[in-house]
Structure 1
Amino acid sequence: MHAGFFLLLAASASRLAVRHGLGGATPALLALSGVLGAGYALGAVRWDALGRRGRLGWLAAVLVCWLALVAAAPSFAWCAVPLFFAALRLLSPRAAVAAVVVITGAVIFAAVYLAEPFDPSLVLAPIAVAGMAAVILLELQRLVDELVRTRGELAETQRAAGVLAERERLAREIHDTLAQGLTSLGILLQAADRQWDTAPEEARRHLRRAADAAAANLDEARHFVRALAPPALASGSLPAALAELAGAEAGGPRVRFRTVGDEYPVDVQVQAALLRVAQGAVANAREHAAATAVTITLTYLDDAVSLDVADDGSGFDPAAVASAPGRGYGLRAMRDRMAEIGGALAVESAPGTGTVVAATAPRRAAPSNSEDRG
């Protein structure tokens, strides 16, 4: 648009010089056209630095200079189109309509002045073109404003969704680490209290286990605050972490661990999710099911890893727990973890028959929603 303005200004000045020569008022009009070109160029170059008020002042000065040129040399009306778009871009709809009327009037004046004889189309055509262009550009501006507003609303929605997702992550981590660790501490301390007088050595053993559990829980808290993998995976593989989970004594059922298939590399996100599922299932068997034995089975399939945690506890009705308000958060957290990596979780249980928690995950974690948006 800027290049078009300077070409039209040069064409108008050339027409003035060719038609009227360099005598009379021509030099003054050419100088005024130079002032117009310099002023227009200054605004185009300093657009961002001018600010809104500066741009409005620039537009007013350019329009006044151009109207003076058109009054003296109607051929300068050719420069109307870039000025027309500049006015629609800068002004409010009501002010833009007023500017369009003034510019269109100048164009009509020039067309009638230069034409012989008078033709009604010289009046009607500029009005029709200006009206259509103004309506189209104002509508485009409205759509652009609406798009910008919608983009802002979408950004706010995404920010809120990110905050909610982070809260869900922290809730899962707190449930699977701090809450379960504190429960283990409570069990060990209660056992130590019961045996303090009758079996002091056994009570001290429970206290040492409680101290170890507290240290491990603190380590877990530091890691999930930093969004790192569980500390049990920091120096080993998933089978080693599950074996450590099975060997940890915190009261409750006896836990066995076994693997099926040949171990192969698995994404850290997948290992962390499966470890958290195992920790949650074992904690549920200890705290809610009154189980005496728990078996953790890790199976390496061709294209997926399967984890089964089976206990011989009291069992429950999964449908009833899912529909009960305030219950079943641990199972929901497990399902959310598996969904984040592209896996799945199934729970098989019934009152009096024990429970099996089965998780299946791909070798490589699927991209999360947040990664897709990024």
Structure 2
Amino acid sequence: MTTADTDLDRRRDLYLKGMPYGLLGVATLLSAATAGLIMPTAAIRIAAAGLVVAALVFQLWWSWISRTRPGPNWISATYYTVRWAIGFALTVLNPFFAFYAVAGYFDTDELIPAQRWKRLALFACSIPVAGAQTSGIPVEDSTKWIVFAGLLLANNVLLTVVRHFADQEEERSRARAATIAELQQAHEENAALQAQLLIQAREAGIADERRRLAAEIHDTIAQGLTGIIAQLQVVAKTADPAAAREHVNRATDLARHSLGEARRSVQNLAPVGLSYDGLPEAMRKTVDQWAERTGVRAEFTLTGPAQHLHGEVSATLLRITQEALANVAKHAAATRVGVTLSYMDDEVTLDVRDDGKGFDPMTLPTRTGTGGFGLDGMRARAERIAGSLSVESEPGSGTAVSARVPLVLHG
């Protein structure tokens, strides 16, 4: 329950507790002002005053006892019945005391335990009200009895209609509360699933990076070290200084190349740009550096308010951008590239478009394996975090790569 709901319930409880006192005070003032007209004898006025005092004392007793025994229960039902009897008696003495009698219209649900008795209680409250509307409870005049019966019927019809709509509104409120609770539960479950998905994506990414590193070490660094060893072995066996110098130079070149490959492999372990900048800044720098390196005009566009995404989501989008740009540089022969990052209500989209030579996606061979460069690698990265990747291209019309991933905020 929200704080607003709690405050509303508190104010409603205060209103229900103070309402009988207020109605009794209003009824007493109006009755005193009209005592000379409606209560001509001193005995009637004394009886009315005594009932008012009794009503006040009884009300104070209920205010005290209800703190430890709140309704609805048999004690609250007894209080309701006695209060109605006092209100009815006062209305007989002066119709203005019907203001006090109508208190039962407001707190029936809080005081009467059974549903069938609630209808009877509301009907009972309509009796003094109808009597007040006919200028007092009728006792002799048959016309007044007819008018009284008609008013009693009309009041109960109105009560039934109002009660029906109130019950419908309460049912709708309960249904809305249940729906909100279900949505909150679904949101919590979705958050838990997203957290689990990100953990699995991180584990899968670690495994892919290990496989990539193993392949690169085997294909580049290990090959380079093998070549260095071979060159040094030749140096150890030759007595010709010129030949030895040549092989040493080759070994040095291989060592520099292997060092460069080792540094590149380490840099590719994680998007370094995200260590210092947010995703939009890191992507802007990536695009600018790629354009400077390749000489191809490239523009970065950000739409929507940028948000602090979960690290795995940011890393995935940056990696897809790097891989898409690498593909453009290698295959597209493009003169212009546009990269757009869009923040939406529940997802983030990335679009990389070029005006290169394009290709037919239906003829592109598929291969297994993830984590490397290429469309398969980009698609695998997006799918790891419950995203998707689509490619639109045709020969001579450029290529558009679009990735959509859930918007999962940091923390």
**Residue of structure 1 in register with 2:319 after alignment:** 279
**Larger-Rg structure:** 2
**Residue of structure 1 in register with 2:146 after alignment:** 121
- Any stretches of 5+ residues in structure 2 without a counterpart? 1-14, 226-254, 341-349, 367-375
The structural deviation recorded for 1:129 is: 2.3
**Residue of structure 2 in register with 1:298 after alignment:** 338
User: Helix, strand or coil for the counterpart of 1:357?
Assistant: strand
Deviates more, 1:134-143 or 1:2-11: 2-11
TM-score, with structure 2 as normaliser: 0.54
Q: Is the 8 A contact 2:84 2:101 kept in 1?
A: no
Letter in 2 for 1:122: V
Which of 216, 219, 229 aligns to 1:191? It is: 216
Aligned length: 321
Compared CA separation, residues 314 and 132, structure 1 to 2 (3 A): same
The structural deviation recorded for 1:270 is: 8.6
CA distance in 2, matches of 1:11, 1:190: 97
Compared CA separation, residues 182 and 312, structure 1 to 2 (3 A): farther
Q: What is the RMSD of the two structures over their aligned residues, measured on CA atoms?
A: 5.6
Deviates more, 1:275-284 or 1:170-179: 170-179
Q: Does 1:239 align with 2:284?
A: yes
Compared CA separation, residues 74 and 19, structure 1 to 2 (3 A): closer
CA distance in 2, matches of 1:182, 1:95: 70
The structural deviation recorded for 1:137 is: 2.5
User: Helix, strand or coil for the counterpart of 2:95?
Assistant: helix
Deviates more, 1:62-71 or 1:195-204: 195-204
**Residue of structure 2 in register with 1:269 after alignment:** 306
Q: What pairs with 1:328-339 in structure 2 (closer than 5 Å)?
A: none
Q: Does 1:159 align with 2:190?
A: no
The structural deviation recorded for 1:81 is: 6.0
The structural deviation recorded for 1:192 is: 0.8
Compared CA separation, residues 149 and 268, structure 1 to 2 (3 A): closer
Deviates more, 1:129-138 or 1:38-47: 38-47
Cα deviation per residue 1:92-118 (whole Å; 9 max; x = unaligned)? 541221112333445567767556522
Compared CA separation, residues 299 and 208, structure 1 to 2 (3 A): closer
Q: Is the 8 A contact 1:188 1:209 kept in 2?
A: no
Q: Is the 8 A contact 2:357 2:396 kept in 1?
A: yes
User: Helix, strand or coil for the counterpart of 2:52?
Assistant: helix
Letter in 1 for 2:103: L
**Residue of structure 1 in register with 2:119 after alignment:** 97
Which of 378, 400, 405 aligns to 1:357? It is: 400
Deviates more, 1:24-33 or 1:306-315: 306-315
**Residue of structure 2 in register with 1:342 after alignment:** none
**Residue of structure 1 in register with 2:80 after alignment:** 59
TM-score, with structure 1 as normaliser: 0.59
User: Helix, strand or coil for the counterpart of 1:298?
Assistant: strand
Q: Is the 8 A contact 2:353 2:400 kept in 1?
A: yes
Deviates more, 1:116-125 or 1:52-61: 52-61
Compared CA separation, residues 139 and 108, structure 1 to 2 (3 A): closer
Work out the percentage of aligned pairs sharing the same amino acid.
9
